[in-house]
Chain A
Amino acid sequence: MWTNFRHLGLAAAVTGLLAGAAPARAEDITLTYSDWQLAQTVWGRSLQEAFTEFQAENPGIKIRTEPVPLAQRDVRFTTAIRAGRGPDVFALDANPVRQYVAEGWVRDLTSYIAKEGPEYLKDFYPKTLEPVTVGGKTWGIPKNTVAMVMVYNERLYKQAGIAAPPATWEEFREVAAKLTGKDRWAFTLVLAPAGFDLRVSSVFRSFGADFLTPDWKHSAVNTPEMRKAFNYVLDMIASGVVPPGVAQVDANGARRLLANEQIAMAIDSTWTLPEVSDMNPKLDGWNVLKMAPIPVPAGTNPKVRTTLYEKSLFINKNTPHPDAAWKLIKFMTDDKRMRKWFDDNAMLSTRISVNQGYDKIAKADYANLVAGQIAEGDFLPLIPEWPEIQETFRQNLQAAVAGTKTRDQALTDAHTAIEAILARNPSK
């Protein structure tokens, strides 16, 4: 009896909401899901399969997918949400999450999570919950996470007579020299905006340096560790072990170089294996590419030595169907789907039980390694000002690379600018 009433009520409400929409049964809810990975061949197919299963299990809900280019994602989302619209469920990486929460664009999920019981959140790595938890409330559910590691080409290593990947930055220098030759380089940095966040910060962190103090209230750019890291990176560029034009290389470009065997190593993560192998089948990437932790300066053991990437799902504040949206998010982050994301895309999950319990992950060396590194990594500062701080730092680093500023000048300018940005919004 209650089910009938519920169906009637739902039908009435939804009919009202769907006036003018495409013809559908009166009980159908259409959820829009927007994600930048929908446009990619493998990921897109993987997500569509998941949606088909979801729709089969939930006959009243239809999913409409809206792919969006990654570089323009925030432009589209913010414009729509500001105007009271936007996709019902969408994905974000860790960078803009605090902004979205601060602007009130995502829905508070605490009550939904409470209904799932106290054990629900315990399965997620506590670290992965940090970006989506503000003011004691949970605003999104983390879906995938990986740590940045050093990916290297074992075949090129063997050709150069190198036995193992460098564990320290001092060893790195020798190894890099051996791997550099005609039209081939040892390594590349990613100094262009796309991918800078994860890859350069992890290098700096391995030196024990960071952009902000742990409380995120002040700039840490003027510390001796940062100075050492900064100088090391600039020396690396000057020594020629990275390709010329490195200031233009973005994450996609770095993977290209790796796929074409023009570089022997790069900082990346688990997705490198499927992507690079697909880019160049002759490379035999699954066998040739291996992973290792990012080197550290000899004799040091920094607590935070790499950067974490995370993709999380959110419900739009404006959505007319929050319950259905929650069902979708729960589905996309449940145990079975987490295994699917690994099977299809080599993406690690944010669920401890899956990363440790799924036999395919346990058997894959690279997955094991990256999962282990999650504990040794951290996210970039989770404050709304972070995108601007990062851009300032990146611009100053590029200026130092291009020679328009001396290294000290670049660091000082970055420090001053970051302090100014933080001073603008002192309330936290």
Chain B
Amino acid sequence: MTRTNLGPWIVTYAALAAMAAYNLAPFLWMLTSSFKTDMEVTQIPATILPHSFTADAYVRIFAQEGFLKYFLNSAKVSGATAILSATVGIFAAYGFSRFEFRGRTVLIAAFLASQMLPGVLLVGPYFRLLSTAGLYDTHLGLILAQTSITLPFTVWMLKGYIDTIPVEIEQAAMIDGASRLQCLWYCILPNILPGLVATMVFAFLLAWGDLLWALCLITDPDKQTMTLGITNLVGQFRVLWSDVMAATVIGCTIPACFYLLLQRYLVQGSAGSAVKG
């Protein structure tokens, strides 16, 4: 009995191992490069493992280049974007999903259409807006910008997830006297937890990896995000490759930790079986 059941598991783990190798390959390169000296990183022929192992790059980025501040700034902006975008988004998604109203199609098409223009064109006029509102060079301005970029995507995504919840649950709740808001909080939210996680991760990562908006909207070096900090390492006369690699490695690990905490909610909800019973 055990032998016949083991086959599929071996295949599964083998496939997952292949995925892990595929995903991790560039990171391995980055990791090994971050522990090399600047000279060895660009050496010809290239070495794979560091010949002279050094953690100088990591020391430098925190001690000299001030990356702790940049990581904190990025975390603050990205976290706020994730929360704000998901919050505003879920209200709109609920509205689009559960109601037929005039202008529904036009509005939701407009939502998506706003994303089809490249950010390059939107930065300038948005900057003007921020400047008038006195939000220039503030984290709040950047958060608002990132939120509005992610919003159409979060609304669309959340709407898709809310659509999968049968309406009957809320109808039953409303017969019992629940308001729409209570429906949203008690009936919908618990059942779209996986979708909410996916949406928040999306919004977080989008803000985390952004360069263009942070570049234009933030000039105070103390408020810089991690992406700006890394780009500053590419100078006019040389590139500090091991520092770039070290900062990027850490820059990718932080969101991964964030995801680690959230991924436990990516599990089967109870909505599927609740209705039929």
A–B contact, 8 Å CB criterion (strictly below): yes
Contact residues of A with B, CB < 8 Å? 20, 32, 34, 36-37, 39-41, 65-72, 75-76, 79-80, 82-85, 87, 183, 243, 251-252, 255-256, 259-260, 262, 271, 275, 279-280
Given A87-B219, A275-B237, 6 new contacts (CB under 8 A):
A41-B64, A70-B235, A76-B219, A80-B216, A84-B131, A279-B38
**Minimum-distance CB pairs A-B, first 9:** A83-B128, A39-B232, A69-B231, A83-B127, A79-B216, A275-B237, A66-B219, A40-B235, A256-B42
**Does B49 have its Cβ within 8 Å of any Cβ on chain A?**
no
**Does B178 have its Cβ within 8 Å of any Cβ on chain A?**
no
- Name A34's closest neighbour in chain B (CB-CB): B219
**Residue contact A80 to B221, C-beta cutoff 8 Å:** no
Mind listing 29 A-B residue pairs with CB under 8 Å? Answer: A32-B219, A34-B219, A36-B236, A39-B233, A39-B235, A40-B236, A67-B232, A68-B219, A69-B231, A69-B234, A70-B236, A71-B234, A72-B231, A76-B215, A79-B127, A80-B127, A82-B127, A84-B131, A85-B136, A87-B219, A183-B44, A252-B235, A255-B237, A256-B42, A256-B238, A260-B44, A271-B237, A275-B237, A280-B39
Residues 192-243 of B at the A interface (beta carbon under 8 Å): 211-212, 215-216, 219-221, 228, 231-239
- Name B134's closest neighbour in chain A (CB-CB): A20
**Does B269 have its Cβ within 8 Å of any Cβ on chain A?**
no
B30 / chain A contacts, CB cutoff of 8 Å? none
Contact residues of B with A, CB < 8 Å? 38-39, 42-45, 64, 123-124, 127-128, 131, 134, 136, 211-212, 215-216, 219-221, 228, 231-239
A32 / chain B contacts, CB cutoff of 8 Å? 219
**Residue contact A85 to B131, C-beta cutoff 8 Å:** yes
Take A66-B220, A69-B231, A71-B231 as given contacts and tell me if A260 and B236 are in contact as well, using a CB distance cutoff of 8 Å: no
**Bound form: Cα–Cα A172–B35 in Å:** 39
**Residue contact B128 to A84, C-beta cutoff 8 Å:** yes
**Bound form: Cα–Cα A75–B123 in Å:** 10
B134 / chain A contacts, CB cutoff of 8 Å? 20
**Bound form: Cα–Cα A251–B220 in Å:** 28
**Bound form: Cα–Cα A271–B237 in Å:** 8
**Bound form: Cα–Cα A391–B69 in Å:** 37
For the complex formed, measure the closest distance between the CB of B146 and the CB atoms of chain A, giving whole angstroms. 16
**Bound form: Cα–Cα A82–B131 in Å:** 11
**Bound form: Cα–Cα A271–B123 in Å:** 35
For the complex formed, measure the closest distance between the CB of B37 and the CB atoms of chain A, giving whole angstroms. 10
A79 / chain B contacts, CB cutoff of 8 Å? 123-124, 127, 216
**Bound form: Cα–Cα A84–B45 in Å:** 50
**Bound form: Cα–Cα A85–B124 in Å:** 11
**Bound form: Cα–Cα A66–B237 in Å:** 19
**Residue contact A75 to B228, C-beta cutoff 8 Å:** no
For the complex formed, measure the closest distance between the CB of A357 and the CB atoms of chain B, giving whole angstroms. 27
**Residue contact A183 to B45, C-beta cutoff 8 Å:** yes
**Residue contact A67 to B131, C-beta cutoff 8 Å:** no
**Bound form: Cα–Cα A80–B124 in Å:** 8
